[in-house]
A and B are shown apart, each in its own frame.
Chain A
Amino acid sequence: MRCGDFKRTYAEDMAIFETRFARGLLWAFLVFLATVPLFATSYWLDILNRTLIAVIAAMGLNILTGFTGQISLGNAAFLAVGAYTTAFLAGRMGLPFPVVIPLAGVVTALVGMVFGIPSLRLKGLYLAVATLAAHFVIEFTVVHWEKVTGGVNGISVPAAKLGALELAGDRQIYWLALPLAALLLLFARNLFRTRIGKAFVAIRDQDISAEVMGVNVFTHKLLAFGVSSFYVGVAGALLAYQARIISPENFPITVAIDQLGMIIIGGLGSVLGSIMGAMFVTLLPELLRLATGALSHSTPALLGLFAPLKTGLFGLAIVLFLVFEPDGMAARWRKVRNYWKLYPFSY
C-alpha cells in the first residue's frame, strides 16, 4: 500500500494514472464494460447508451463550465445541432459514421463558437441568458427549416454504417459509444495537462489575471466553447444514431438544465465528476421507475407520482450536494478513497 507522494521525474508528476495497478484496474474495468452487452437486456443497453451519451455531453459542458467558468444553457441546442447534422449527413448524403460523427462535432463546434462570442463581454448570469438565446434560436431553426430537419414531425436517421457493417440496435451502438466515450474522456483529462487546458483553468479562476499573464482570454474562451461544443456535437451524433428518429421534442430546455445538474452533482472541473454526475442523473429515473413499477401493481395511483417524484428528487439532490458537498460526487469519492488509502492513518 503506497503511502505519501514520491515523484522522481516530471513525467511521473504529470501522470494521470500514477501506478501500474491503477492503469491495470482501468483496463480491466473497460474490458468488463465491453462485455456487458453479452448479458444485458435491450432495455438496459438503451439506458447504458443514453448514459454514455450523457457522459460525453456532460464532459463537454464541464469543459466549458467547470474548467473554463463559462456558464452555458445552450447544451440542448448543441445536442440538437449534432443530431440533426448527423441526420442530414447520414440520411441525405449517406456518409459512413466515421466521417459523420467527427463532422457533426466540427459543425457543432463552429455553431458553439458563434454563440460563444457574447462571452467576450458577458460573464456569469448574463452569459447564461445569452446562451439560452442560443437554445431558442436553434430550436426555432430546427422547427421551421423543414427541408433539412423535417420540422415538428422529426426526421428518421438511418443506422450507422461503414460499408457493409451496419450498427443497428443498442448492442452495436454500445460498442461504438463506449470506446468513443473512453477516448473523449481521456482526451479531456489530457487537455488539462496542456498549456491550453491550463489557460482555461486560469480564465476560470481569475480572467483578469489570466489576461495580464499573457493568456489571450477571448481566443481561449472561444476555443473552450468550440471544444465543449465538439463534445456535445459528438454526443448528439450518437443520440441520433441510437434514437433513430429525432424531433424538436427530443431537445427541450430541461435537457440543458439536466446536464448542468449532472456536472454540479458530479463535480465541476473534474472528469470523474462528469461521469458520476451523468450516471446519477440518467439512472435516477430508472431506479425510481423500478421502485414505483413494482409497487404500482398494488397502488396504481403511484404511477402518476413518478414524474413529479423524479423532478423533486433531482432538485433535492442538487440542493443537498450544493450544501454538503459543493465539489460534487467526485470530491466525495476522492475523500472516501483517500480515507481508505491511508487507513488507519487517516490524518
Chain B
Amino acid sequence: MTRTTSWKRTWTACAAAAALFVAGGARAQEIKVGGIFDLTGITSDVGKPYAQGVQDAVQLLNEKGGINGKKIRLIAVDYGYKIPEAVSAYKRLVTDEQVVMIQGWGTGDTLALKDFVNKDKIPYFSASFAGDLTDPSKTPYNFFVAPSYSDQMRAWLSWVKADWKDKSRAPKVAFFYGDNAYGRAPIEAGRRFCKETGIDLVDEEVVPGNFQDATSQLLNMKQKAAEYAYINVTTTGVSLILRDAKKLGLATKFGSNPYGFSEALPAVAKDVAEGVTGVVPHVPYGENVPGMKTLLDFNQKNHPNETRNAMYVRGWSYVQVWAEVLRRADKAGQLTGEGVKKAAETLKDFDVGGLTNPVSYTPTDHRPMTKTPIYQIKAGKLVKIAEFDMPRKAEWLGL
C-alpha cells in the first residue's frame, strides 16, 4: 500500500465519522428541552425509572405529532447527583444548546441552580419537591408537579394523628433523614407542624448520604421509644432501614417520603415492608385511572418485558404537564423562557388523567397541588388508605 492510499483511507474514515456526528445534528422545527437526570449516582434507584418515564413520554408525544407540529428534542445528561456536574451541564444546556426549559432532578442541584435559573429565565421543572421552590417571589422560574415535601410530611403527620388511638397522650414521632439538602428539605416544616398539632417529636436521626447500615441510628431511636418514624431518603435507604429495624425488633410504624416508597419497596424489602405507609403523589403503575391506559399501551408495544413503578409514572406525568405548558406558550407565540413561565402560570386544575392530582400554578404561588394521598403496603401491594388536603397557608409558602 502506498503512502497516498493509506492517507486517503484515513481521511475517508475521518469524514465518515464526522458525517455520523453531523447526521445527528440537522433538525427541522423542534423545541429543545434540557434533561438533567441521575442515572448512576446515589439517587439512581429512583432516578433511572423517572428518566425512563420522561424519555418514553417524550417519545410518545413526538410520535403523536409533538407540540403543535414541533417535535421535542430532549437533551438528556446524567450528572450522577454531583452538584458541580449539574452546574456544568446547566451551563452547556443553556448557552450551547439554548434550551427553552429544563427538566431537572435533585434538591441539592436545583437549589444550587436557582439563582442561575432566575437570572437566565429558564423554567426549571425539578423532580425535587422542596418547599423552598414554591415561592415565586424568591424562585419565580422553579416548578414541580407534586405537593411539596413539607406538605407531604404534614399530610403524613396528619395521618399519624388520625391513626393514633390513645387519646391520653400525644404520639411519639421520629424523623430519619439523609445528611444532604434533599434529606433536610422538609424537616423544619415537620418540626413546626408537630408543635402546632400536638405531636411529640422525640428523635431526629441523620444518616450519611450513601449508607449501608442504620443500626446505630435505630438503636438511638429505640431508646426514645418512637411509635412512628418518617424516613426521608430514597427507596434503597428505606429498605435498609426497615431491614435493620426488623433485626432490632422495633415496633415503630415507618412512613416514607415519595422517593422512598413505590412498588420497588415491597419488591426489594419483601415482608419487612408490610404495613409501611408512604406518601404517593403519583399513582403506582397500573392503577385504575384514565391516564394509565396510554402508559400501559406504550409499554406493551415498546417495552413489554420491563417492570415499571410509580417513579416511571412520575416522570411521565411531568412530561404531560410541561408539554401542555409548551403547547400554551407556543400557541401564544412565546416560546421563550419568560413565555413558558407565564404559560405555566395559566394552568388551573389541569387534569393529568388521574396520574396525579390536578395541577395549578399562579404568579404568586407555585404549589401545584395540596392533596397528598397516603398509601400502605398490604400483602406486597400498594393500597390507598387516606388523602389529606393541606390548607394553602401563606406562612407555609417557601417553607
Measured CB to CB, the residues of A under 8 A from B are: 41-43, 46-47, 50, 143, 152-154, 156, 170, 243-245, 247, 249-250, 252, 294, 296-298, 300, 303-304, 306-308
Contacts and interface: CB of A to CB of B under 8 A. Distances in A.
Contacts of A294: 20-21, 24
B78 interface: yes
A243 B40 contact: no
A243 B84 contact: yes
B80 interface: yes
Contacts of A298: 24
B196 interface: no
B302 to A, nearest CB: 12
B80 A307 contact: yes
Contacts of A47: 88
Contacts of B39: 303-304, 307
A152 B112 CA distance: 11
Contacts, number: 74
Contact of B180 (A43, A152, A245, A304): A152
Of the candidates B21, B92, B184, the one having the most CB atoms from chain A within 10 angstroms of its own CB is B92
- Size category of the B interface is 20 to 34
B111 A306 contact: no
Interface string B83-122: 1100110011001100000000000100110010000000
A296 B76 contact: yes
Given A152-B181, A294-B21, A307-B40, A46 B88 contact: yes
Chain A contact residues: over half helix, strand or loop, or mixed?
helix
Contact of A300 (B41, B55, B111, B112): B55
Nearest to A296: B76
6 contacts: A245-B115, A247-B108, A294-B24, A300-B76, A304-B40, A304-B78
Nearest to A254: B82
Contact of A297 (B24, B77, B87, B96): B24
Contacts of B24: 294, 297-298
Interface of B: 20-21, 24, 37, 39-41, 48, 55, 76-78, 80, 82-84, 87-88, 91-92, 95-96, 108, 111-112, 115, 179-181, 183-184
Contact of B83 (A42, A46, A250, A300): A250
Given A152-B179, A306-B78, A42 B96 contact: yes
A249 to B, nearest CB: 5
A92 to B, nearest CB: 18
B396 to A, nearest CB: 19
Contact of A303 (B20, B76, B88, B115): B76
A296 B37 CA distance: 14
A308 B40 contact: yes
A244 B90 CA distance: 14
A97 B40 CA distance: 37
Given A243-B84, A303-B39, A304-B48, A46 B91 contact: yes
